[in-house]
Structure 1
C-alpha cells in the first residue's frame, strides 16, 4: 500500500497565488522522485475548536488560510529514498521563496489503513458489498 506525506501550513491569504506557483514548481521534482500524486488544498471552512483545530495547529492568524496538502508515494521506501536525494538536489535552491513561515508547518508520514479508491482494505473488516 502507498505511503502519504501530509502537511499543514498557514499561508497569508494575499500570497495565495505565490503559494500555488511555488507548489506547482515543486510537483515535477516530486514526480521525478516517484510521487504518485500531489494534492494541495486551501481552507474554506474550518470550525474553531475548543482545544485544538487546524488553525491552532499552525498558529494561523485571521489574515492567513490553512493549506492542507499531501504527497502520495508508492511506499515508504520510495519516499525515504526520494527525501534523501532531494536534500542535495540543486533545483530546490532555484525555487521561489516560500510564501509562508516554515517554522509553523506541521508534517508527518502516514501509512494508509484503507482507501476507498483501491480495495485492499476489504480484508480489514470492511467490505465493498452490502
Structure 2
C-alpha cells in the first residue's frame, strides 16, 4: 500500500495565490523525486473546536486560513528517498524561495495506509 505525508499549516489569507504558486512548484519537484500525487486544499469549512481543532493546532490567526495537504508515495522507502532528495533541492533554499507562511506552526507526519477504497 502507499505511504502518505500529511501537512497542516496556517497561511495568511491574502497570500492565497502566492501560496498556491509556491505549492504548485513544490509539487512538481516532489513528483520529480517519486511522489505519485500531491494535493493542496484551502480551508473553507473549518470549525473552531473547544478542545482541539485544525485552527487551534496551527495557532491560526483571524487573518489566516488553514491549509491541509498530503503527498502520496508508492511506499515508505520511496518517500524516505524522495523526501531526502527534495530537501537537498534548491527549491528548499529559504533564502531563494521563502515559504509564504510561518513554517514554525506547520504540522506534518508520515502515515502508513491501512484503508484505501
- The bucket for the TM-score relative to the shorter chain is over 0.9
Residue number in structure 2 paired with 1:40: 40
| Residues 90-105 of structure 1 mapped to structure 2, 5 A cutoff | 90-93=90-93, 96-105=97-106
Moved over 4 A (4+): none
1:13 Cα deviation from its structure 2 partner: 0.3
CA distance in 2, matches of 1:60, 1:11: 8
Residue number in structure 1 paired with 2:16: 16
Q: Secondary structure at the match of 2:41?
A: strand
CA distance in 2, matches of 1:91, 1:100: 15
Q: Secondary structure at the match of 1:98?
A: coil
TM-score scaled to structure 2, two decimals? Answer: 0.93
Count of residues paired in the alignment = 116
Unaligned runs of 5+ in 2: none
Unaligned runs of 5+ in 1: 117-130
TM-score scaled to structure 1, two decimals? Answer: 0.84
CA distance in 2, matches of 1:87, 1:36: 17
| Residues 20-99 of structure 1 mapped to structure 2, 5 A cutoff | 20-93=20-93, 96-99=97-100
The higher radius of gyration belongs to: 1
